């Protein structure tokens, strides 16, 4: 790693060279990290982005408003903030805006204060290009959610959209923990049963869509939904002109959300890969694009779902388009004549694919009752002759 570590504590500067790159860093003025005792500043060799690394131990709380206050005072450069919780927690209000911060990564944190600035007018410009939250639980007291629900019209549009400068968004294994006291439960039960608070329609009333002009990659894999209570950081009412990959793997989904039903949409005209693997989908619920010529989609990953059958109209359309690979490995497909067309489509895909994809296609299996033992065997759809007797 071509970086040097600058650790300032009580006015004494330690410089540890992690590589052989020598620069004039020693003479450069060091920003004062006072108030951020859990954080160290690293400067990359090219001196373009400075990395602020914070580690929060058990019993400690890092208030992102302090980080925000600190970066606002810096006059040069941009910052990449990297926060890891080792038992400690983080106070960080959505939409995480901070001056000069272009990248933000959070690992293993309990995140508090998420809704605390929802109705405040944001004074900081959007600058964030990369936002990555891993294994993070966003703790939301029900009372906060309830209060917000009554003030939806006071949420500024900026806050609704988050940061539209994003290029990459990763919310992997991010959960919402809606905390409800018994009193909350009594007070709120009529609301709880009637509306889906925080869901798109509620949080984002009839406003014009948020446009994310640079967003290319979204990973929301591994989100456990706590019933109807979940806030999606990316609202359904958005437009992603450059979006290439959307990852919804491991979301416990039994249906495709409406937003993705149309595999080709003006909302995401550049989509290449859609990952719905490791869910509990029972059928191929997508609408296949009509305008074949402009479809950029290359792969729909449906491996490890519960799909038993693909209708002929679907395989016919896929066959016509020819460029979309549907990964159907690890699905309970049954080797019946109804799968004949799927086989034709897979064969065509196989012929035009490179090695690795061929491997994948040949791993698509269906279950066939063995003539000898009466057991169900998994056979490769491509290699078995189950459809020989079909008309």
Ligand X SMILES: *[C@@H]1O[C@H](CO)[C@@H](O)[C@H](O)[C@H]1NC(C)=O
Report angle CA 174, 176, 181 to the nearest 5 degrees: 155
Q: Pick the binder of ligand X from 275, 327, 330, 387 (CB under 6 A).
A: 275
Using CB under 6 A as the binding rule, whether residue 387 contacts ligand X is answered as: no
Q: How many CB atoms lie within 10 A of CB 241?
A: 14
Residue 168 interacts with ligand X (CB under 6 A)? no
Query: Which C-beta is closer to ligand X: that of 254 or that of 359?
Result: 359
Among positions 221, 304, 317, 349, the unique one binding ligand X when judged by CB under 6 A: 221
Nearer to ligand X (CB atom), residue 23 or residue 226: 23
Half-sphere exposure of 158 (CA within 13 A, CB side): 15
d(CA 292, CA 178): 43
Write each residue from 37 to 56 as x if it is in contact with ligand X (CB under 6 A), else as -, in one continuous string: ----------x---------
188 binds ligand X (CB under 6 A): no
* 222 makes contact with ligand X (CB under 6 A): yes
Q: Which is nearer to ligand X, 18 or 28 (CB)?
A: 28
CB crowding 256-274: b at 16 or more within 10 Å, else e? beebbebbbeebbeebebb
Residue number with the smallest Cβ distance to ligand X: 221
Asked if 56 and 82 count as a contact pair (C-beta separation under 8 A), the reply is no
Q: What length is written for the chain?
A: 391
- The least distance separating ligand X from the CB of residue 193, rounded to whole angstroms, comes to 6
Q: Is 64 helix (H, G, I), strand (E, B) or coil?
A: helix
Q: Give least dist CB 224 to ligand X, A.
A: 13
Instruction: Tell me how many helices (H) and strands (E) the chain has.
Output: 9, 20
| Cβ proximity to ligand X, 179 vs 359, nearer residue | 359
**327 is a site residue for ligand X (CB under 6 A):** no
CB environment 326-357: b (16+ within 10 A), e (fewer) = bbbbbbebebeebbbbbbebbeebbeeeeeeb
- Judged by CB under 6 A, the residue of 28, 211, 280, 376 near ligand X is 28
> CA-to-CA distance for 76 and 287, rounded, in angstroms?
49
**Distance of closest approach, residue 172 Cβ to ligand X, in angstroms:** 5
* 191 to 220: interface string for ligand X, x by CB under 6 A: --xx------------------------x-
Q: Measured between alpha carbons, how far apart are the two ends of the chain, in Å? A: 62
Residues that bind ligand X (CB under 6 A): 28, 47, 76-77, 172, 190, 193-194, 219, 221-222, 245, 247, 249-250, 273, 275, 355
């Amino acid at each position: 790693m071509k970086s040097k570590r600058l650790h300032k504590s009580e006015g004494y500067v330690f410089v540890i060279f992690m590589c052989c790159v020598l620069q004039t860093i020693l003479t450069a003025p060091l920003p004062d990290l006072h108030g951020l005792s859990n954080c160290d500043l690293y400067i990359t060799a090219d001196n373009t982005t400075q990395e602020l690394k914070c580690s929060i131990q058990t019993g400690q709380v890092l208030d992102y408003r302090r980080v925000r206050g600190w970066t606002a005072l810096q006059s040069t450069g941009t910052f990449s903030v990297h926060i890891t919780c080792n038992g400690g927690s983080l106070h960080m209000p959505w939409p995480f805006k901070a001056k000069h911060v272009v990248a933000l990564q959070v690992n293993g944190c309990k995140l508090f204060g998420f809704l605390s600035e929802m109705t405040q007018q944001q004074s900081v410009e959007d600058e964030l290009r990369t936002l990555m939250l891993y294994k993070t639980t966003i703790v939301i007291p029900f009372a906060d959610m309830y209060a917000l629900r009554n003030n939806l019209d006071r949420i500024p549009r900026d806050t609704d959209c988050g940061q539209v400068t994003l290029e990459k968004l990763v919310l992997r294994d991010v959960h919402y923990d809606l905390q409800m006291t018994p009193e909350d439960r009594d007070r709120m039960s009529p609301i709880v049963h009637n509306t889906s608070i925080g869901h798109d329609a509620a949080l984002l009333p009839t406003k014009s869509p948020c446009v994310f002009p640079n967003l290319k990659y979204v990973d929301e894999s591994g989100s456990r939904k706590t019933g109807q209570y979940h806030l999606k950081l990316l609202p359904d009412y958005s437009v992603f002109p450059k979006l290439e990959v959307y990852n919804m793997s491991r979301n416990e989904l039994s249906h495709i959300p409406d937003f993705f039903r149309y595999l080709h949409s003006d909302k995401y005209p550049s989509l290449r890969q859609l990952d719905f693997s490791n869910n509990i989908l029972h059928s191929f619920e997508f609408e296949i694009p009509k305008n074949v010529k402009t479809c950029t989609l290359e792969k729909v990953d449906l491996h490890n779902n519960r799909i038993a059958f693909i209708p002929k109209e679907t395989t016919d359309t896929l066959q016509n388009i020819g460029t979309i690979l549907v990964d159907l490995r690890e699905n309970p497909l049954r080797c019946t004549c109804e799968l004949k067309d799927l086989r034709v489509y897979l064969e065509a895909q196989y012929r035009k694919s490179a090695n690795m994809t061929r491997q994948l296609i040949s791993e698509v299996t269906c279950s066939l009752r063995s003539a000898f033992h009466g057991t169900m065997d998994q056979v490769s759809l491509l290699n078995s002759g189950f459809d020989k007797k079909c008309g």
